[in-house]
């Protein structure tokens, strides 16, 4: 059997796993677990994936990489199922795998969206986060490298490019002349004039530069969808997290964009039960879900991560953390359902994907007529919304 790569965690890991498949080619009897360590639950899922992969491939070499291979290196190295670990910062280096230098990137035909990594690592020091331990400092790819990767995807016929990174909006901070992400997006749209859709993965609202704001507000090929690394709705908790924005900053950004683009959909990452969080602080997180009309949400119950300042703060009890996470998820689901009902009867451009569904420009999931070919860009008018999906 050829190489298997199992990806856990973020979109960046998904993009890197695709690169790993190309790098490792047809290596015999090799299983790679591209792990995640963002929460204790992510580490648990990594261990579970390792055991499951070993049961499925008892004779294969099983190698673990990704953030957990850095943050939980000793623990994973002691698992009997694991044959070795590759440092997360080295996982795309052919020398780490003892394979020849990677051939030029080739995108697979049949993919409808191309995930393109433009940046890795993080220079910030949020008090809850271990990602800088797992990914290292921020490192940007050059404009030329990014454009080359995108050209491969465009030549393969993808209808949408998604830019990914650990701290995407910090792109350019380590490059000559310190360009900003807006300049990169302008270069992409200028080079690929027939590319219909450009989307951003999670962004830090505090780092949105004027050019990026203008593109999100006015350019029809920039998708009307932002996913904010929000983390909380209470100013005191945000300070204790060492975030770089306030509650009002987040609201002002979204209101500013919606003043120009009323169809903007907002997603967010939110942590429930951060240390010292009281009922009033939690209420502020619940209310910002409504204020921003957050319709796509990743709610993370806070979990202590090794060697982080937040782990030394007064903790919220686990049952209360769980309950608050459920309340936040319910609040986001209510916003999502109301938003989807508002889209019923409105014509939407939908990019068809595998599995009989596709995504509208605002990232609403749409179930498509049977037989729709993946990659088709369709004008669809949904007639109902059922369990988070628009139906035609």
Task: Answer yes or no: is pLDDT of 80 > 70.
Answer: yes
In three-state secondary structure terms, 90 is helix
Q: Which domains does the chain have, with CATH numbers?
A: 4-97 (3.40.50.12160), 113-340 (3.80.30.20), 348-391 (no CATH)
% of the chain residues with pLDDT over 90? 82
Residues in the chain: 392
Q: Span 34-38, mean pLDDT?
A: 92
- Longest alpha-carbon distance in the chain: 58
**Whole-angstrom distance, CA of residue 187 vs CA of residue 170:** 17
The per-residue pLDDT for range 314-326, each reduced to its tens digit, is 999 999 999 999 9
Instruction: Return the pLDDT at 122.
Output: 95
The per-residue pLDDT for range 179-230, each reduced to its tens digit, is 999 999 999 999 999 999 999 999 999 999 999 999 999 999 999 999 999 9
- Between 99 and 127, where is the model more confident? 127
Instruction: Return the pLDDT at 162.
Output: 96
**Whole-angstrom distance, CA of residue 368 vs CA of residue 94:** 41
Task: Answer yes or no: is pLDDT of 103 > 70.
Answer: no
Mean pLDDT of the chain: 94
Phi, psi (degrees; rounded to nearest 5) at 120? -145, 155
Radius of gyration of the chain measured on its C-alpha atoms: 21
Question: pTM of the entire structure?
Answer: 0.89
Range of weakest confidence among 103-107, 151-155, 293-297: 103-107
340: pLDDT confidence band, cut at 50, 70 and 90?
very high
% of the chain residues with pLDDT over 70? 96
Task: Answer yes or no: is pLDDT of 79 > 70.
Answer: yes
Residue 25 backbone zone (phi > 0: left; psi -120 to 50: alpha; other: beta):
left
- Residue spans of beta strands (DSSP E) within the chain: 4-7, 30-35, 61-66, 84-85, 113-117, 119-120, 139-140, 160-164, 197-200, 225-231, 265-272, 294-301, 348-352, 357-360, 365-367, 377-380, 384-386, 389-391
349: pLDDT confidence band, cut at 50, 70 and 90?
very high
Instruction: Return the pLDDT at 341.
Output: 98
Task: Answer yes or no: is pLDDT of 238 > 70.
Answer: yes
Torsion of CA 202, 208, 211, 216, to 10 degrees: 50
Task: Answer yes or no: is pLDDT of 14 > 70.
Answer: yes
Torsion of CA 350, 228, 310, 327, to 10 degrees: -60
Opening angle at CA 168, ends 106 and 301, nearest 5: 110
Nearest to residue 36, comparing CAs of 61, 60, 72, 4? 72
Task: Answer yes or no: is pLDDT of 108 > 70.
Answer: no
Nearest to residue 266, comparing CAs of 230, 292, 234, 232? 292
Instruction: Return the pLDDT at 85.
Output: 93
171: pLDDT confidence band, cut at 50, 70 and 90?
very high
**Which of the given ranges, 95-99, 267-271, 366-370, has the highest pLDDT on average?**
267-271
Q: Span 352-376, mean pLDDT?
A: 94
**Whole-angstrom distance, CA of residue 371 vs CA of residue 65:** 38
Task: Answer yes or no: is pLDDT of 265 > 80.
Answer: yes
Is 136 in contact with 181 (CB distance < 8 Å)?
Answer: no
**Which of the given ranges, 24-28, 109-113, 387-391, has the highest pLDDT on average?**
387-391
- Tokens coding 149: 């990767």
102: pLDDT confidence band, cut at 50, 70 and 90?
low
Strand 113-117 and strand 357-360: pairing?
unpaired
């Amino acid at each position: 059997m050829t190489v298997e790569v199992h990806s856990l965690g973020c979109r960046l890991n998904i993009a890197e796993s695709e690169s790993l498949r190309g790098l490792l080619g047809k290596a015999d009897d090799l299983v790679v677990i591209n792990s995640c360590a963002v929460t204790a639950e992510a580490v648990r899922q990594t261990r579970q994936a390792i055991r499951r992969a070993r049961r499925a491939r008892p004779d294969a070499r099983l190698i673990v990489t990704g953030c957990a291979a850095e943050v939980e290196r000793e623990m994973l190295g002691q698992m009997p199922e694991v044959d070795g670990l590759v440092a997360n910062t080295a996982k795309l280096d052919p020398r780490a795998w003892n394979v020849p230098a990677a051939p030029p990137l080739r995108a697979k035909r049949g993919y409808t969206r191309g995930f393109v990594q433009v940046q890795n690592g993080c220079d910030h020091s949020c008090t809850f986060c271990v990602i800088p331990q797992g990914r290292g400092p921020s490192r940007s790819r050059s404009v030329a490298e990014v454009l080359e990767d995108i050209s491969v995807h465009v030549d393969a016929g993808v209808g949408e490019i998604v830019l990914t990174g650990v701290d995407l909006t910090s792109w350019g901070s380590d490059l000559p002349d310190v360009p900003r992400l807006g300049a990169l997006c302008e270069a992409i749209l200028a080079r690929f004039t027939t590319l219909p859709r450009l989307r951003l993965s999670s962004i830090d609202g505090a780092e949105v530069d004027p050019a990026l704001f203008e593109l999100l507000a006015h350019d029809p090929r920039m998708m009307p969808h932002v996913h904010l690394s929000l983390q909380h709705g209470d100013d005191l908790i945000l300070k204790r997290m060492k975030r770089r924005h306030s509650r009002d900053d987040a609201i002002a950004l979204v209101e500013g964009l919606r003043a120009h683009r009323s169809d903007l959909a907002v997603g967010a990452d939110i942590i429930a039960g951060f240390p010292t969080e009281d009922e009033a602080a939690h209420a502020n997180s619940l209310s910002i879900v409504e204020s921003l009309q957050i319709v796509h949400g990743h709610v993370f119950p806070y979990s202590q991560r090794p060697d982080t300042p937040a782990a030394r703060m007064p903790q919220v009890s686990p049952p209360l953390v769980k309950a608050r996470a459920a309340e936040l998820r319910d609040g986001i689901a209510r916003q999502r359902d109301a938003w989807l009902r508002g889209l019923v009867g409105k014509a939407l451009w939908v990019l068809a994907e595998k599995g009989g569904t596709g995504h509208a420009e605002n990232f609403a999931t749409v179930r498509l007529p049977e037989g729709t070919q993946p990659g088709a860009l369709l004008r669809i008018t949904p007639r109902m919304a059922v369990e988070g999906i628009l139906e035609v």
